[in-house]
Structure 1
Amino acid sequence: MSTHAPLDALTFDLDDTLWDNRPVMEHAENGHYAWLDEALAAWHGAHLDREGRYGERFPLAAYQARRLELAQRHPLRRGDFTWIREQTLAELLEEYGLPRSAARMWAAAAIDRFLDLRHRLSPYPEVEALLDDLRGRYRLAAITNGNADLTRLPLAAHFPVRIAAGEMLAPKPDARPFLAALARLGSAPSRALHVGDSWREDVLPASRLGMRVAWIDVHDDPERSLPAGVYRLRHVRELPGLLARLEAAAQGVFTPS
């Protein structure tokens, strides 16, 4: 890996890199499941009298456990989280006693609700201005294992290249999402830097390809040794400082760290 070649492309993870994803997912997880229970109770009183409430028969923990089981049954789809969720709901709703057509209808409606809640997120305050500046100097791409759809977010304007790794059946740490992004950006690994929070899904695959990596160490793991070309940041707001140092190094100019 060349750690001094000038950079022309940046690739970004999304969840927990550009925003805090934990509260977003907690709200979406609880919200869409509660919505489904309430909507089913209001829709089918006779079924409710006979079978009890859906949420009592299949509490949230049962839904979560079934998702893991379904992912094991369909390993090629394990990273397609939206598909996993919808298929799991359809299975549970059939077991609840709904005809298959109704089960699929309600599963799709619940997923629509989930995706609506999942996109009610706020990037870190610095992100909009940061990306606006960077896209004037680098080609930008997003690579995510999650089901955040950038076309539903204002941040889409900054990312002409968007890779949904799970939907392409190659979730990170698979190298293919990174290679696809670089191909669409017209860049090479030696001239690209990846920004992400996961050691396994961001740092390792990007580094192995020869990309440089800005690791957003959200869990504060100072004992982990860093390979050449991997740089530890505490927050994405520190990225401009790192890029300035790398640009200076590419020009043979010394700057203090």
Structure 2
Amino acid sequence: MPLHAPLDALTFDLDDTLWDNRPVMEHAETGHYAWLDEALAAWHGTHLDQNGRYGERFPLSAYQARRLELAKRHPLRRGDFTWIRERSLSELLEEYGLPRSAARMWAAAAIDRFLELRHHLTPYPEVETLLDELRSRYRLAAITNGNADLTRLPLAAHFPVTIAAGEMLAPKPDARPFLAALARLGSTPSRALHVGDSWREDVLPAWRLGMRVAWIDVHDDSERALPAGVYRLRHVRELPNLLQRLDSTLRD
């Protein structure tokens, strides 16, 4: 294994690394779409019989299919999930019969509701204390493909640098979000470790840049061989022990 310099920076993925994102997204997905259907029904009033219920004409599955189709039409925006969602809603609402201005207004309102629900999340119990301890020893950054806005969460205090990779049109596994985070932290790949759950979007791009990687193997992919510099963890709570081991190795 090549000799590495001591670590001075840690970069973190967010979803499914610092919290369980599946129930969060399930609640936000169904919640904002049901809200839109109910709000439109109330707004339409006596015209509802003419147009029908929005949710009946365009069920949630139609919205999800439109998002996939829209991402193919606009490949540069494929990682900008908030834009994909809002644009998809706007298109469906126009097809439902709303004027473009009204469709955009309702799409924006639904996305506001989605983002509100999307931030009803609870980090793992250990995360707050963990980050508080780590930021006294390392410079920290968050790199996410998702649309979680750290400024809406208490965890923001721990991350002086946040990279929303989808919004910069370079979603992971693109190397640019990692390089941008390291540049803003004043670090280099050989002195940084990335923490994330996705083999494709976290492990491979960071490792190829020369970063060390703590892979949160949430799916227990125990058969996968690890290249030098990649370390398998089952939970982010195991990170301090890994950092202690790496520090001891450098001292030996």
| Structure 1 residue 47 displacement after superposition | 3.0
TM-align CA RMSD: 0.8
CA distance in structure 2 between the aligned counterparts of 1:27 and 1:191, rounded to whole angstroms: 38
User: Residue 115 of structure 2 corresponds to which residue in structure 1?
Assistant: 115
With 114-123 and 42-51 compared, the bigger mean Cα shift is at 42-51
Once the two structures are superposed, what CA deviation does each residue of 1:174-225 show, in whole Å capped at 9, x if it has no partner?
0000000000000000000000000000000000000000000000011000
CA distance in structure 1 between the aligned counterparts of 2:186 and 2:74, rounded to whole angstroms: 33
**SS of corresponding position for 2:22:** helix
- 2:71 maps to 1:43: no
Number of paired residues? Answer: 252
Note if contact 1:199-1:215 (Cα within 8 Å) is conserved in structure 2.
yes
Q: Which runs of 5+ in 2 are unaligned?
A: none
Q: TM-score, normalised by structure 1?
A: 0.97
Identity %: 88
**SS of corresponding position for 2:232:** strand
CA distance in structure 2 between the aligned counterparts of 1:180 and 1:101, rounded to whole angstroms: 37
User: Residue 178 of structure 1 corresponds to which residue in structure 2?
Assistant: 178
Note if contact 1:145-1:172 (Cα within 8 Å) is conserved in structure 2.
yes
4+ residue runs of structure 1 moved beyond 6 angstroms? none
The one-letter amino acid paired with 1:93 is L
CA distance in structure 2 between the aligned counterparts of 1:6 and 1:221, rounded to whole angstroms: 29
Alignment CA distance shift 1:65-1:3 (3 Å): farther
Note if contact 1:194-1:202 (Cα within 8 Å) is conserved in structure 2.
yes
User: Residue 6 of structure 1 corresponds to which residue in structure 2?
Assistant: 6
Alignment CA distance shift 1:219-1:3 (3 Å): farther
**SS of corresponding position for 1:44:** helix
CA distance in structure 2 between the aligned counterparts of 1:170 and 1:216, rounded to whole angstroms: 22
CA distance in structure 1 between the aligned counterparts of 2:89 and 2:2, rounded to whole angstroms: 48
User: Residue 89 of structure 2 corresponds to which residue in structure 1?
Assistant: 89
Q: How does 1:57-76 map to 2 (within 5 A)?
A: 57-76=57-76
User: Residue 106 of structure 1 corresponds to which residue in structure 2?
Assistant: 106
**SS of corresponding position for 1:227:** coil
The one-letter amino acid paired with 2:168 is M
Note if contact 1:32-1:111 (Cα within 8 Å) is conserved in structure 2.
yes
Note if contact 2:4-2:191 (Cα within 8 Å) is conserved in structure 1.
no
CA distance in structure 1 between the aligned counterparts of 2:248 and 2:46, rounded to whole angstroms: 71
CA distance in structure 2 between the aligned counterparts of 1:7 and 1:172, rounded to whole angstroms: 22
| Structure 1 residue 22 displacement after superposition | 0.1
User: Residue 194 of structure 2 corresponds to which residue in structure 1?
Assistant: 194
The one-letter amino acid paired with 1:162 is T
With 47-56 and 203-212 compared, the bigger mean Cα shift is at 47-56
CA distance in structure 1 between the aligned counterparts of 2:122 and 2:251, rounded to whole angstroms: 36
Note if contact 1:3-1:228 (Cα within 8 Å) is conserved in structure 2.
no
User: Residue 232 of structure 1 corresponds to which residue in structure 2?
Assistant: 232
